[in-house]
Structure 1
């Protein structure tokens, strides 16, 4: 056990955990979800859901992981011996591998865009150019596979270096740069003529969007943007020292996630409104609309390079967490073989992800439940896997762990503990079941 790596500092853990949460969920998915669901009302509901439901589950994952001090599967076996709870860990292992298999495809697209941005090839007077560019990239068999492999190679090299020298060190320099870049881009976006229309869209509520459907989508976004339900936070917390306060760490991670999500909105919506675009462009907002927007402002090519570096860093920090779950579970207590397992798992996930990479080109006609391979992998993990995982974590922490064990890990004021316990035992499970049912229906 003494050979097991640990985070060297609390800030290193917080930045790594926040990096896991702050990925495509905050920068890619949050803006288009807010854009298609009324902006300000969705943002308000997202913040409330994050704090009231997402945060208690995040604390639960931290609690289980830190108590275990081992990988996810072994952690459940250790804390609930002779029960089937260990299957929750295997679920995290499987769904994390599937998530990373298609996530790495998107990471490859971002690499492709960054390379083009650095070559100043993302310039055109015709906005249709950017839609065609995205389509051409996603159907190019060789390029998407090479880029997917290149992205995974970066992740494997980081994970193979260990927790302190790999995960913690990379997060300590990538996350501050991410914040600085976000602030620079937000300032640039807010200084455009007409930018205040975007700010109004984000912060002045249009109560006609206050519907049950918007609430469900905001709740789903809160779960997914915090990376709860796939043992990511549980695994990271297992490398946390016993004297660290998991309550304050969870608050910091949730807070950073909210701040980055709002900053992403302040980068995107003021620019979108200032240049006459609609905010409800959906998933293509980042890859099609944003390049077109930056192309119309002074020094746009420079700011576009910054944007895709930022997006790449955010995607890398999330992907690191996904691969770490898989490697930690596969590795078990063979800590000295981390590099070997990092490469084996990376290669395996690369192979699994090839069909997703080709699902816009050569395999476009193959459908699973009326979805492309890529979309089905996304649906399977986001709409089914993550809610089930979050539900099981909530139930385990709320019912399997004894009150004294909960208090030992979460030494907070009695009223805070009571609110947390009520949430993980009653509020969160009910909310997750509703999200799960709606997700399966969708």
Structure 2
């Protein structure tokens, strides 16, 4: 029987939802190209280490606060505060998380809309609707508005269905589909000319690149890849049963995220060098591997065009993969403001979801109309400033403000002997001192 506010009914449901939140577009196109540009396997090794040295402890802070409070981000941080000043800053941090999650979703939905359009374009071509196919592949305001609306509507439908029937059900369907598509595409791409060159760039370490800049880049990728700082994992933690061991679940989420990011590299880098073999430019004028939207919307479609009839089906599979990755992340972001609306404003979920979703879509529409001036601004404010500062604040709440005996009592639920484990000997002081310093270092480096 589910809890009144919703609860994950199984470990698998939580793991798929949390991993889905972490595995998004940035993981699939960001991690592989960062690795290739920063010494290949040297970056991969640094990333793997920092995922557990930085991301896992910060993830544990969010999960533990969330399950203890069983509330949205604002109420959760206020509940562990022990005075009027800390409660004020708890509320401020909580509202900051809601605003940043909403802002990220507002531009994320636009990029996801591009993925929806490119998924639909091969179908239009197959059925001979060339005008529709051309419209879907164009970068027009009306196309972007319609595709963003479709994607936002899908996200709202899932969230409106609740935790068990929405988030958990769809995550357990979408994540295995994502993994299967990813593996099938890897198997196909590795048979193409040029693929082995991409594998070599990705997997062969170049320790000449092993510099402080590489470590900072790997640190930032590790932190941001787990959707930390904006309360998504805190909210998911609040839907967890008290019988579950948080350290084990947190470690599994980190492993799944790292595993999928690494596996994505086995697709993206070989695909880029296959595209180069086919005559497509994969380096910018500065000699840097093309990454981000240009990679997904220019380099890889050019590769699919060279594959003949097979290219149509590869394109469909690839953009289906991208849409799934977008959707599993977007539902976690929308849940942050929706949970606040349900619990603080007493609005039923089926009403709160479209209200919040339409407000965020309104922001997305404004960005689309004034794309050149607003898109990068929204990305910078939310991911370069908002996310790391909120991550530092959450570590401070878990490490300095929350009473240690309450923290231990929460972790003992589902892990009775945790007081005698290596985790408890290291994590409390680590999240108090080391994590904030590491996040601050990555933040200063990215800003400066």
Same fold, TM-score > 0.5, yes or no: yes
**How far apart are 1:98 and its partner, in Å?**
0.4
Q: Distance in 2 between matches of 1:251 and 1:46?
A: 15
CA contact 1:73–1:90 (8 Å) conserved in 2: yes
Answering whether residue 435 of structure 2 is matched by residue 428 of structure 1, we say yes
Instruction: Look up the match of 1:256.
Output: 256
List aligned pairs for 1:354-365, cutoff 5 A: 354-360=365-371, 364=372
State the match for 1:111 in structure 2: 116
Please, what TM-score do these two structures have when normalized by structure 2? Answer: 0.89
Q: Distance in 1 between matches of 2:318 and 2:28?
A: 10
Aligned-residue offset at 1:196: 1.9
Quote how far apart the aligned CAs of 1:336 are. Answer: 6.8
Deviation at 1:267, TM superposition (A): 0.8
Q: Deviations over 1:315-334 (max 9, x none)?
A: 00100000000100122166
1:88 aligned onto 2:86:
no
The offset of 1:245, in angstroms, is: 1.3
- Contact kept in structure 2, 1:14 and 1:253, CA below 8 Å: yes
Distance 2:73 2:246 in 1: 17
Instruction: Report matched runs for 1:260-299 at 5 Å.
Output: 260-276=260-276, 278=282, 280-283=289-292, 284-297=294-307, 299=310
CA contact (8 A) 1:182 1:264 kept: yes
Is the counterpart of residue 98 in structure 1 residue 103 in structure 2? yes
- Higher mean alpha-carbon deviation, 411-420 vs 239-248, is at 411-420
Counterpart check, 1:348 vs 2:355: no
Query: Are the aligned partners of 2:50 and 2:219 in contact in 1 as well (CA < 8 Å)?
Result: yes
Partner of 2:318: 307
CA distance in 1 between counterparts of 2:395 and 2:79 reads 17
Deviations 1:151-189 (A, max 9, x none): 100011110000000000000100011011111011112
What is residue 68 of structure 1 aligned with on the other side? 69
Are 2:186 and 1:190 equivalent residues in the alignment? no
Give the 3-state SS of the residue equivalent to 2:297 in structure 1. Answer: coil
User: Would you say 1:12 and 2:13 are equivalent positions?
Assistant: yes
What number of residue pairs does the alignment pair up? 421
Q: Give the TM-score of the pair, scaled to structure 1.
A: 0.90
Q: Could you tell me how far apart the structure 1 residues matched to 2:319 and 2:29 are?
A: 11
Q: Is the contact made by 1:35 and 1:282 (CA closer than 8 Å) also made in structure 2?
A: no
Task: Please give the per-residue CA displacement for 1:10-31, whole angstroms capped at 9, x wherever unaligned.
Answer: 1101110110000112112223
- Deviations along 1:63-115, whole A, 9 cap, x unmatched? 00000011111111222153222221111100011001101100111111111
Post-superposition CA distance 1:35-85 (Å, at most 9, x none): 333332222222111111101000110000000011111111222153222
Q: What 5-or-longer segments of structure 2 have no aligned partner?
A: 127-133, 284-288
Secondary structure at 1:180 match in 2: helix
The two structures, once aligned, show a CA RMSD in angstroms of 2.2
Structure 2 equivalent of residue 171 of structure 1: 171
Cα contact 2:155–2:331 (8 A) shared by 1: yes
Q: Which of 329, 339, 345 in structure 2 is aligned with 1:328? A: 339
Instruction: Give the conservation status (yes or no) of the 8 Å contact 2:341–2:347.
Output: no
Q: Secondary structure at the match of 2:100?
A: helix
Matched-pair contact (CA < 8 Å) for 2:400–2:432: yes
CA distance in 1, matches of 2:19, 2:177: 14
Deviation at 1:286, TM superposition (A): 1.5
1:120-155 deviation per Cα after TM superposition (whole angstroms, max 9, x unaligned): 48xxxxxxxxxxx899733x1111111111110001
Q: Residue 2 of structure 1: CA displacement?
A: 5.2
